[in-house]
Structure 1
C-alpha cells in the first residue's frame, strides 16, 4: 500500500514538474522562430538571426512579387519559352509553347514547388532573372529583412542565396496579409488549366503539415543538400490565434512545427484594444461652439505573447485645436498602440457633434464673395 502511495506521489511530482516546465521545447532545427502573425511578437526563437540557405522557401518572395504585379496590372496570359523552363530541380510540369494565366504560376511555385514556375515568374515580372533578383532584394530591404540576400528566384544553392528564420517569418507575416496568397498556400492540391494546348496540370502541395496538423494553414517547404530541410508554416486555432513558424536545417521539421504551435497557443493571448469609453475635448476656432468632444467607436484585437502587455505603449494623437466647419463623425485624431516601439494598430477619434461656422464669420465671408464679384463686374464693364 505504501509503495502505491509512493508511486502516486512521484507521478504527482512529475505531473507538477511538467506543468511548470513543460512549456520548454526541444527543436531539431539549427535555427527556428515562432511569431504572432499580426504583431510579429516573438514567442520562441533559436538562432533566429543566423544566416542560412533557405532552399525553396525563397519562392515565397517570388510568389508575392508576382501576385502584387498581377493585382496592380492584371492577370495576363504568358507563353512558355525554352529559357523559362531551362532550370533544374522540382517542376510544376510546364512545357515550351504552353499558354496559361500568370496567376497559375503562383500555384505552381507554392504547391509542387516548381522551379520552372519561379523562373518563368521572374521573366514575367522583370524581363529577366537578374533584374528580378534585384527586385527581390529591394523588397527584402523594404520589409526590414536585414540578414537576407537573394540570388535566385527558386532557392537553388547558387551564389550564397540566404536568409534567417526571423527574416523569413517577417516575410510570411507580410504575405499573409494578401488574401490570394493566403488562400493558395492553404490548398492541399489544385488543378491548373493550360489555355493552349488545352490540358490540366495537377499541383499537389508538398506541405504535409496541412494533413498532419489540423490547425495548419500553409505555407512552404524547402530542401537542398546545402540547406537541409526548411519549413515555413502558419496555423490558426479555434480561438482565432494565428502563428507563424520557421525552421531551417531541421531533421524533424514536421514535429518541430507541431511542437512550436502547441507551445505558442499555450503561451499567447488575444488582447482587445477598445477605446469606446474614452473621450476628450478640443477647442474649435471660428465656430459657434468653443469646443468639441472626440470619441472612439472602433476597436481591434491583436495576439500577444504572455507577459508582452508590459511592453505596450499607448499614444493619444489629437490636434491642439481644429477649424470649423466640423461634421459629426469626422475623424480628427487617433489612439495608437505600440509593441516594443512598433505600431500594431489604432482606434480613430471622431467628432461626437457638428461644429458650424460663426454667423458673423459666415456673413463676412459672404460679403467678401459679393464684393469680389461686384468689383470683377465693374472691371469688365469699364473695359
Structure 2
C-alpha cells in the first residue's frame, strides 16, 4: 500500500476487533447517533493544537454573519504560527476567512474571527467554553481560538469526537471542511487567495469529508477526520500520533465494518399496544448481536404537563445493556377512515 491508508471497508458486520494505534489518545464516533465506537485513553485531557479550530469555526458559523466583513487587527496579522498571511486593516468576508482557518489552519484567521464574532479574544473564549459545556465536553477547557499551546487549553479525545459530531451536523461546516481547494478574493493584490486543504485524508481515504489537522511542538500531531459511506458518517480523533493518516484509516475501517447503523423506529411508526406513533426516526449503530438486546420503555405524559399541551402523549426510550441509546416523542395515532365514526 506504500503507506497510503486503506480505501476498502469490509461490508459484512463482524465481531468488533478493536484496532491499535500509535496515538497517546484516540476516539471514534458515529456522527448520527453520537455513540462512541472506540476510545483509548479517551477521557484524558491533552493538548489538541489546531483541532481547536473546529470549535472556532462552529461558533463563528452559529453566531456570526457569514457575509459580514472581518477587519484584520494588527494583533491578528502578527499572530505566530501557521498563517494565511493576512495584513492589518485587510477586510474579508467571514465565510471566506473560515476557509482559510480550516483548510490552511491560519492562526491569524483564528484571531481575526474571534475578535469579530466575540468582540474580543476573551469574549470569544467565553463562547468556546460555554459551547463546550453545552456539548458535554467534560474534560476540556479552551484558552484561545487557534490551538497554540497555553496553560488551561486542553481537551480529551472523546470530547473532540463529540465536538466533531456536533459540528458535522451543520451543513456550512460540512461544506468548508470537505473542500480540497478554495479561492477567495484578495482586495489588496491582483491575485486571489488559493488555499489547499492540509487534510490529506481527503485524498487518501474513500469517502473522507473532513475535518482538521493540528501540530505544535508540545502537542505533536493531532488529527480529527471524518468519512461517509452508504449514508453513514464517522469521525475519528487521534492526539499525539506520529502515524495518524494510517491510524485514522484503521479506525474508520473498523467503525464501518464492525457497526451497522440501523433504524430502531421510523417516524410515524405505530407503537404496539398504544394508540401512538413515533414523532421522529431513531437510528443507532449496533455491533453484532446488540440489536436483539435493546429494551424499550414507554413513559406517558399527564394532561397537565407542558409536553402534553404541545401535542405529545409520551416518550419511547431505548436502552442497551442498561444504558440509554435514544428516545422519540409519541404523538396520538390518527384513526384510519374506517375507524372514524361520524
Q: TM-score, normalised by structure 2?
A: 0.83
1:240, CA displacement in angstroms? 2.1
1:335 maps to: 316
1:128 pairs, out of 117, 120, 128, with 120
Contact kept in structure 2, 1:34 and 1:43, CA below 8 Å: yes
1:259 pairs, out of 227, 250, 253, with 250
2:241 maps to: 250
2:23 pairs, out of 29, 33, 36, with 29
Spell out, residue by residue over 1:206-235, the C-alpha distance to the aligned partner (whole angstroms, 9 max, x if none).
100100001211000000110011000111
Q: SS where residue 113 of structure 2 aligns?
A: helix
Confirm or deny that 1:85 pairs with 2:100: no
1:350, CA displacement in angstroms? 2.7
Q: SS where residue 111 of structure 1 aligns?
A: helix
Q: Separation in 2 of the partners of 1:303 and 1:90?
A: 38
Q: SS where residue 302 of structure 1 aligns?
A: strand
Q: Separation in 2 of the partners of 1:333 and 1:149?
A: 37
Structure 1 residues 189-208: aligned runs within 5 Å? 189-194=181-186, 200-208=192-200
Spell out, residue by residue over 1:156-176, the C-alpha distance to the aligned partner (whole angstroms, 9 max, x if none).
112242111001001111101
2:296 maps to: 314
Q: Separation in 1 of the partners of 2:329 and 2:16?
A: 38
1:363 maps to: none
1:152, CA displacement in angstroms? 1.3
Q: SS where residue 106 of structure 1 aligns?
A: helix
Contact kept in structure 2, 1:332 and 1:351, CA below 8 Å: no
Q: Separation in 2 of the partners of 1:112 and 1:74?
A: 19
1:188 maps to: 180
1:141 pairs, out of 118, 133, 144, with 133
Structure 1 residues 101-180: aligned runs within 5 Å? 101-180=93-172
1:46 maps to: 40
> Structure 1: which 5+ residue stretches go unaligned?
1-18, 282-292, 355-383
- Cα 1:195–1:143 shift into 2, 3 Å: same
Q: Separation in 1 of the partners of 2:279 and 2:159?
A: 36
Q: Separation in 1 of the partners of 2:270 and 2:130?
A: 43
1:352 maps to: 334
Alignment root-mean-square deviation, CA: 2.9
1:12 maps to: none
Contact kept in structure 1, 2:18 and 2:38, CA below 8 Å: no
Q: Which has the greater radius of gyration?
A: 1
Contact kept in structure 1, 2:212 and 2:223, CA below 8 Å: yes
1:113, CA displacement in angstroms? 0.4
34-43 or 300-309: bigger deviation: 300-309
Q: SS where residue 251 of structure 2 aligns?
A: helix
Q: SS where residue 346 of structure 1 aligns?
A: strand
Spell out, residue by residue over 1:74-109, the C-alpha distance to the aligned partner (whole angstroms, 9 max, x if none).
631122221221200111221123211112221111
- Cα 1:308–1:113 shift into 2, 3 Å: farther
Q: Separation in 2 of the partners of 1:336 and 1:207?
A: 39
1:133, CA displacement in angstroms? 1.4
131-140 or 304-313: bigger deviation: 304-313
Q: SS where residue 187 of structure 1 aligns?
A: coil
Q: Separation in 1 of the partners of 2:273 and 2:302?
A: 11
2:63 maps to: 69
1:240 pairs, out of 231, 237, 251, with 231
Larger RCO (alpha carbons 8 Å, 6+ apart) = 2
Spell out, residue by residue over 1:36-74, the C-alpha distance to the aligned partner (whole angstroms, 9 max, x if none).
11222222221111211000001111111111112xx56
2:4 maps to: none
Alignment: residue pair count: 317
